[in-house]
Structure 1
Amino acid sequence: MNTTGLAAERNEKNKRLIDRSPKQIDTCSPTCCQDDSSFEMHIVSTNKGERTTVLNVVKQIWPWVDYIHIREKQLSLQQHFIWARHMTESGVPSSRIVINGANPFVPSEFCRGAHWSQKMLTKAEESMNAVNKGERMRLGVSVHSIHEARVAADYGADYLFFGHVYTSRSKPDLTPRGLEALAEVCSGVDIPVIAIGGIQASNIQAVRLAGARGAAVISSVFQHEDPAHAIRLIKQAAERVI
């Protein structure tokens, strides 16, 4: 299938997702909503416990993003699932929702993806060997080096978060890792790498040129006065023909 055909197929798939209610979307493989030419858009919650704020923003922007990550480190896993339930009840498809710390082997009607930190991956490595991709939810892992990226890929992760790439408002005191480090990770593993940290419309093409297969944003959307407008600009910039 040529690029035009892939794009048309993806557009039709997204249209079907929008037209269906959350309860109808009850299955999703680890590689759903993707094709080889796609560039994934991820949105990550603010980590401030602002459930109402996050929910209001997510309701506005979900048609323009592929995955919505609930990552609230101060909350329990059960509270993460409560947030996910509120999202699905508000019309957000469960196939778009990813829960930080979730067990990918335990199915849920409220999410179809799990994301792990390095600490979670290390703990899992100690208790089991590489995971079977065919019998679980889609699994992502946050990495900060080429070594961590290869370990996560060998374990069986479906994709990686790498960052922070640029100066980030969520980590203002830490030096960004930059495009060169991003490119090294992208070329060093065979699974998609999602760039995170300071991603905006003005720099998203640069991370794509470095080899990233997607981008994750937080402040550039949640702190914008018009979140829907902000995510549309970022998505349009990412899809612009070079």
Structure 2
Amino acid sequence: MNAVLHVISDKHRHHLPLFDALVEAAKGGADVLQIREKKAPAQETYSQVRQLQQALSEERLSSRIFVNDRVDIAIATDIAGVHLAAKSLPTPVVDALRQQAGWSGQIGCSVHSLEEAQLAEQAGADYVTFGHIFASESHPGLPPRGVFALQRVVEALSIPVIAIGGIDQTNIDTVLATGCSGIAVIGAVLGAKNPRRAAAQLKSAIEKSKARPKVEFCALHN
């Protein structure tokens, strides 16, 4: 099994029009496309998801769609996953999703420490995204956590850990060597003039890596 590639949307960090960049990333082999537009109206995010679903279907692309924070949109569009902040993931929320809403998709959680990661696993998260690993435009001025902190989280958890933050061709091997289940990027793909090529290069690096994930990211099998 190989690690996976998540590409996360950011309306301020893309070279092509955002929708086109996401579709090109899918053509390049991105396993997951996460729509993260925290301040956008619900209708706008819903429309983005629907348009992306249609495009992936028409192009026969296998990328899975996740949405950030909007549980309602995830349920309404029947996508593969919803990604929450650590503060949004108390156990009752997970239980309500699973039991009352009948949610069968993945529930992810962003964490920034080993303690947060362990609490997310206890609350029922299917995976966590940990970072930022290296200096990142998304967190200017904040010190990165580094690969040693990432490795501690990977070793402590029994669910997949996705690494995020400043990851690109120059450091991907170091990240994958921790046994993480995948990487998540924004600028390394969407900020490229050719997002398809950028995604394909990262996927190629993942496939060539001798490192293997400690835990497989299973959303691809839903």
TM-score (norm 1): 0.75
Q: Which residues of 2 match residues 33-72 of structure 1 at below 5 A?
A: 37-48=1-12, 53-63=17-27, 64-72=29-37
After superposition, give the CA deviation of every residue in 1:105-152 in whole Å (9 maximum; x if it has no partner).
96333622100012212xx44667597498432110000111111111
Q: CA deviation at 1:65?
A: 1.0
After superposition, give the CA deviation of every residue in 1:168-208 in whole Å (9 maximum; x if it has no partner).
12222111100010001001110000000001012111111
Bigger shift: 150-159 or 77-86? 77-86
Partner of 1:11: none
Structure 1 pair 73–109 and aligned structure 2 pair: CA distance change class (3 A): closer
Which residue of 204, 213, 219 corresponds with 2:181? 213
Partner of 1:89: 54
RMSD after superposition: 2.6
Structure 1 pair 169–204 and aligned structure 2 pair: CA distance change class (3 A): same
Aligned amino acid, residue 178 of structure 2: A
Q: CA deviation at 1:102?
A: 2.6
Aligned amino acid, residue 53 of structure 2: T
Structure 1 gaps of 5+ residues are: 1-36
Partner of 2:76: 108
Measured in 2, the distance between the counterparts of 1:86 and 1:128 equals: 27
Give yes or no for contact 1:199–1:215 (8 Å, CA) kept in 2: yes
Partner of 2:166: 198
Q: CA deviation at 1:79?
A: 2.4
Identity of aligned residues (%): 33
Structure 1 pair 222–241 and aligned structure 2 pair: CA distance change class (3 A): closer
Q: Which residues of 2 match residues 1-242 of structure 1 at below 5 A?
A: 37-48=1-12, 53-63=17-27, 64-91=29-56, 96-103=64-71, 107-109=75-77, 111-121=79-89, 124-125=90-91, 132=98, 135-242=103-210
Q: Secondary structure at the match of 1:199?
A: coil
Give yes or no for contact 2:3–2:206 (8 Å, CA) kept in 1: yes
Structure with the bigger RCO (C-alpha within 8 Å, sep 6+) is 2
Q: Secondary structure at the match of 2:140?
A: coil
- When Rg is computed on C-alpha atoms for both structures, the one with the higher figure is 1
Structure 2 gaps of 5+ residues are: 211-222
Measured in 2, the distance between the counterparts of 1:100 and 1:110 equals: 14
Give yes or no for contact 1:77–1:101 (8 Å, CA) kept in 2: no
